[in-house]
Amino acid sequence: MAFLTRTAPFDGLSPAELGRLATEATVLELDAGEVVVDGTAPPTGELWVVYRGQVQLWAAGEENDGEPIETVHPGEIFGFRSLLTGESAQFTARSVGHCVLVRLPGRVARPVFARPAGASYLAGQVVPGVRQPRSPFEAVLGRRPVGELLHAAPVLVTGETTVRDAVRRMTEMRSSYVLIPLGDGDHGIFTDRDLRTRVVAEDRSVAEPIRTVMTAPARVVSDDRVVTTVLIEMIEHGLRHMPVVDVRGRVLGVLEDSDLLAASTRRGFVVRRSIASAATPADLVRASAGVTELVVDLVRAGTDALATSGILSVVIDSMARRAVELAIGETEDLPTAGFAWITLGSVARREAMPSSDLDTAMSWADDGEPDAARYLRIARRVHEILDACALPADRNGALASTRRFARSGSAWRSAARTWMAEPLADQGLVMSSLLVDGRVIWGEPGLHTVPVAYRRMRLDHPEALRLQLLDALSTRVGPRPFRSVLSRRSGTFDLKAHALTPVVNLARWGGLSVGMASATTPARLAGAARNDLLTQQDATVLEEVFALLQRIRMRHQVDQIVAGRPPGDVVRLGELTPLNRSLLAESAREVAAVQKRITGRLTSVTRG
Is it the case that residue 134 has pLDDT exceeding 60?
A: no
Q: What is the pLDDT of residue 180?
A: 95
Average pLDDT over residues 469-482: 74
Q: What is the pLDDT of residue 75?
A: 81
In order of their start, the domains of the chain are: 2-133 (2.60.120.10), 148-258 (3.10.580.10), 455-608 (1.20.120)
| % of residues, the chain, pLDDT over 70 | 84
pLDDT (tens digit per residue) in 536-562 = 989 988 998 998 899 999 999 999 999
pLDDT (tens digit per residue) in 201-242 = 888 999 999 999 999 899 998 887 777 677 777 777 778 889
What distance in Å separates the CA atoms of residue 61 and residue 312, rounded to the nearest whole number? 26
C-alpha distance from residue 551 to each of 5, 261, 495, 546 (Å): 32, 18, 11, 9
Is it the case that residue 500 has pLDDT exceeding 80?
A: yes
C-alpha distance from residue 549 to each of 47, 262, 306 (Å): 24, 24, 10
User: Could you tell me the pLDDT band of residue 435, with boundaries at 50, 70 and 90?
Assistant: very high
What distance in Å separates the CA atoms of residue 104 and residue 1, rounded to the nearest whole number? 12
C-alpha distance from residue 492 to each of 104, 195, 559, 564, 570 (Å): 30, 56, 16, 19, 6
Q: What is the pLDDT of residue 130?
A: 34
User: Could you tell me the pLDDT band of residue 337, with boundaries at 50, 70 and 90?
Assistant: low
User: Could you tell me the pLDDT band of residue 129, with boundaries at 50, 70 and 90?
Assistant: very low
Is it the case that residue 498 has pLDDT exceeding 80?
A: yes
Q: Is 424 exposed, middle or buried (0-12, 13-18, 19+ CB in 10 A)?
A: exposed
For the ranges 60-69, 337-346, 445-454, the lowest mean pLDDT is seen at: 60-69
pLDDT (tens digit per residue) in 271-284 = 777 888 889 999 99
Q: Is 402 helix (H, G, I), strand (E, B) or coil?
A: coil
Q: Is 501 helix (H, G, I), strand (E, B) or coil?
A: helix
Q: What is the pLDDT of residue 511?
A: 92
Half-sphere exposure in the Cβ direction for 593 (13 Å, CA): 13
On whether the CB atoms of residues 31 and 98 are closer than 8 A, the answer is yes
Half-sphere exposure in the Cβ direction for 572 (13 Å, CA): 5
What distance in Å separates the CA atoms of residue 374 and residue 380, rounded to the nearest whole number? 10
On whether the CB atoms of residues 123 and 135 are closer than 8 A, the answer is yes
Average pLDDT over residues 468-472: 91
What distance in Å separates the CA atoms of residue 222 and residue 226, rounded to the nearest whole number? 9
Average pLDDT over residues 51-72: 71
On whether the CB atoms of residues 284 and 303 are closer than 8 A, the answer is no
User: Could you tell me the pLDDT band of residue 607, with boundaries at 50, 70 and 90?
Assistant: low
Q: What is the pLDDT of residue 144?
A: 63
Most confident among 278-282, 491-495, 601-605 (mean pLDDT): 278-282
For the ranges 85-99, 395-409, 411-425, the lowest mean pLDDT is seen at: 85-99
